[in-house]
Amino acid sequence: MDQIVNVDEFQELAKQALPKMYYDFYNGGAEDQHTLKENVLAFRRIMLRPRVLVDVSKIDMSTTILGYPVSSPIMIAPTALHKLAHPEGEIATAKAAAACNTIMIVSFMSTCTIEEVASSCNAVRFLQIYVYKRRDVTAQIVKKAEKAGFKAIVLTVDVPRLGRREADIKNKMISPQLKNFEGLVSTEVRPNEGSGLEAFASNALDASLSWKDIEWLRSITKLPILVKGLLTREDALKAVETGVDGIVVSNHGARQLDYSPATITVLEEVVHVVRGRIPVLLDGGVRRGTDVFKALALGAQAVLIGRPIVYGLAAKGEDGVKKVIEMLKNELEITMALSGCPTIDDITRNHVRTENERLRSML
């Protein structure tokens, strides 16, 4: 691992380590994969505005998320089926998160049980959920998480149906039976053709889910509720009005609706509407410490890392996940020092210049 100098290099190692079906599952996006590319490229069009002659002899990256202290504003996004990447699955990821003093959002589609993840190490963690047509399934998983000491529920709201992921259709991707659902519902679907995941999702997910159902979710848990998958100021305002505890600006890693905007391009409109009333987090396309810095400058409280975590897991297990997080933290620390920002609170909107601002200045 000494030769690896940035997180993108883990992707190539993961490609070598994984069967094609599984690599394509983690790597792929929806349809033409336009948004998949844009999530990364949009960060590159934002320029930094460094300030100099600031005392940066000490850099403090620590912050809090929902009141829980973390070593940096870099969290682990919910991603499914970690045992397809590594035999230890989500347990290895959870241990890496704990070692790096950050929060892991465990996927509803985890291959390790909630209890296994909870008992693997002592750390703050959240649970991501989908709402199934059978509401009792979701309710029982939420209760399990609450009992196991999870600290928040992250409701993914951009999957009334599964996006069209053509690599999974070609590969006839199969969803394994998940232990969290044993005795509740079968997650193993083997269609005659196409993606087993798509077949399972269309059978299981509740496409009627709407804003009024936030009340239902609140009725079954005392945990804070974040909604993940918002991309517009209108939905952000609705989320605040509904009384949720946080927002994740996300296009589901570009796996749902192709030609939806890159998340970093819509972050600011969400932040403006929220006006600091609840935390706004962001995922999608974060590959560098400079990306983390840009997201913070545009108003995110933290970023969630998805694919790089899975690539690190596939390549080197728990150590690979730790290495990905530490690399991003190191890059963020350097970016803060070279931009004149000794603490997270010192990162302001004045430290970045977006593409639109550059274009306006040229007129």
Was 307 annotated as part of a binding site?
yes
Task: Judge whether 287 is annotated as a binding position.
Answer: yes
Q: Are 61 and 329 in contact (CB under 8 A)?
A: yes
Q: Is 132 annotated as a binding residue?
A: no
Q: What are phi and psi for residue 31, nearest 5 degrees?
A: 45, -115
Residue 243 counted as an annotated binding residue: no
Residue 256 marked ligand-binding:
no
DSSP 119-131: HHS---EEEEE--
Q: Give the tokens for residue 15.
A: 């490609």
Residue whose tokens read 């997201």? 295
Is 219 labeled as ligand-binding? Answer: no
Catalytic residue among 82, 252, 272, 351: 252
Is 351 part of any known ligand binding site? no
- 69 carries a ligand binding annotation: no
| 107 annotated to bind ligand | yes
Structure tokens at 114: 């909630």
Tell whether 353 is in a known binding site.
no
Task: Judge whether 255 is annotated as a binding position.
Answer: yes
Any known ligand binding at 44? no
- The residues, any chain, with a CB within 8 Å of residue 176's CB and separated by 6 or more, are 81, 83, 84, 111, 187, 188
Q: Is 252 noted as a catalytic residue in this protein?
A: yes
**Binding site annotation covers 284?**
yes
Output Rg (C-alpha) for the chain, integer angstroms: 20
144, 251, 253, 262, 267 from 283: Cα distances, Å:
26, 8, 7, 10, 10
List of residues 6+ apart from 245 with CB closer than 8 A: 66, 152, 224, 225, 226, 278, 279
| Residue 283 is labelled as binding a ligand | yes
Beta strands in the chain (DSSP E): 47-48, 63-65, 68-70, 74-76, 104-106, 125-129, 153-156, 225-230, 246-249, 280-283, 302-305, 352-353
What's phi and psi for 76, nearest 5 deg?
-100, 120
Q: What residues form the annotated binding site for FMN?
A: 78-80, 107, 128, 130, 156, 228, 250, 283-287, 306-307
Active site residues: 252
- Residue ranges for the known binding site for glyoxylate are 165, 252, 255
Feature table: binding site: 78-80, 107, 128, 130, 156, 165, 228, 250, 252, 255, 283-287, 306-307
